[in-house]
Structure 1
């Protein structure tokens, strides 16, 4: 499995929240629930009909069964937004969540999109919605999901419901790889047009790209 350091992951996220708060944004208290029990995971797997991909399963079992992290660039109820440098002007929030309790609902929703809108497996666009495990809801109808087909099993893929350019893009090699890289850019998004400035073809969300380095330098200079 991919190497993963929970303490480093949490520290990266905290630094972004502090930087955002110091320039007038706000954040919510991060929710970190206890790890899941094996029997809880087995119960969900039984309902899904398959075993969860190992990196995702390991995080649920050994780190947290339910996690919610958030920050926003909006200052107040009038929604006056903090102004970032131009290349980062599309970014307005950091939003990372997962949860064992979310999975069945997210999967029901994904399957609903398949049944009603994207039923044709032989259609290139529709196919992306098939054989996935949705674990993250963007909020606009899009999802982050884990690939379940053999060729790219375990990779993290973006599902767009409205023809977005990032539809079908693989954004991480696995769940831990996503957490490692996404945390280092403050978990911006999840709308694709927020994180695409950090996307590198063949790598996904790339925490070592030049834009990511500039973004960290800008935010961390505010701490």
Structure 2
């Protein structure tokens, strides 16, 4: 991850916000905060009982400890059939939201998905939530993946992308999602770009190309 990569992310985020507005949608200005301190990271690690993944630590200590990107298309937007379920997008992270997302994940695991021997329940175990989804789902790190684990989707209601890998690590996840404007974060909005449970976002796929063309995202700076 370089300074140029960080600038490219911001370019694509702003591009997505502008693209949404070109369709008559609404978008909040890109918001970024200062890098997190070691003391702040140690405090959140103590609260969640887990070390933060290596690539997440790199981003929040070197570039920004908090990011907020949010856009929403109008109901009347005439989307291609493949993308008819996509109505919003955005990405957000902060130390505070990591704690909130992990608490939500733990609540689902304890109260609903408690059986590690059950195939569906087991997906909720050994994870670290870091992003809440408005419908109650959680985007999390799979802690079985070492010190820089993959990012996965956790659905609480039999979502089609339950357990799907969204990126090989935090940087890969953000990079892939950013290249297509961060549609989501509900799994049904992401699914056109997820070819298989292990593929991650297919940024060079036909769907990704057609989406960027329709949405109006400039593909430069890739």
TM-score by length of 1: 0.91
Paired position in structure 2 for 1:211: 207
SS at match of 1:7: helix
For residues 109 and 221 of structure 1, the distance between their equivalents in structure 2, rounded to whole angstroms, comes to 33
Counterparts of 1:80-99 in structure 2 under 5 Å?
80-99=75-94
Contact between 2:13 and 2:30, CA under 8 Å: does it hold in 1? no
Deviation at 1:220, TM superposition (A): 2.3
Question: Structure 1 residues 39-48 or 117-126, which shifts more?
Answer: 39-48
Residues 108/4 of structure 1: CA separation in 2 closer, same or farther (3 Å cut): farther
Q: How many residues were matched structurally?
A: 218
Residue segments in structure 1 that go unaligned for 5+ positions in a row: 75-79
Paired position in structure 1 for 2:192: 197
Structure 1 residue ranges (4+ consecutive) displaced by more than 6 angstroms after TM superposition: 1-4
Residue 153 of structure 2 corresponds to residue 158 of structure 1: yes
Deviation at 1:48, TM superposition (A): 2.1
RMSD: 2.1
Q: Deviation string for 1:87-110 (max 9, x for gaps)?
A: 111110112111111122221111
Residue 119 of structure 2 corresponds to residue 124 of structure 1: yes
SS at match of 2:29: coil
For residues 146 and 160 of structure 2, the distance between their equivalents in structure 1, rounded to whole angstroms, comes to 22
From 83, 86, 97, the counterpart of 1:102:
97
Paired position in structure 2 for 1:77: none
Contact between 1:32 and 1:68, CA under 8 Å: does it hold in 2? yes
Q: Deviation string for 1:42-72 (max 9, x for gaps)?
A: 1111222221110111111111111111111
Paired position in structure 2 for 1:137: 132
Deviation at 1:3, TM superposition (A): 10
For residues 91 and 169 of structure 1, the distance between their equivalents in structure 2, rounded to whole angstroms, comes to 18
Residue 17 of structure 2 corresponds to residue 17 of structure 1: yes
Residues 216/164 of structure 1: CA separation in 2 closer, same or farther (3 Å cut): same
Paired position in structure 2 for 1:63: 63
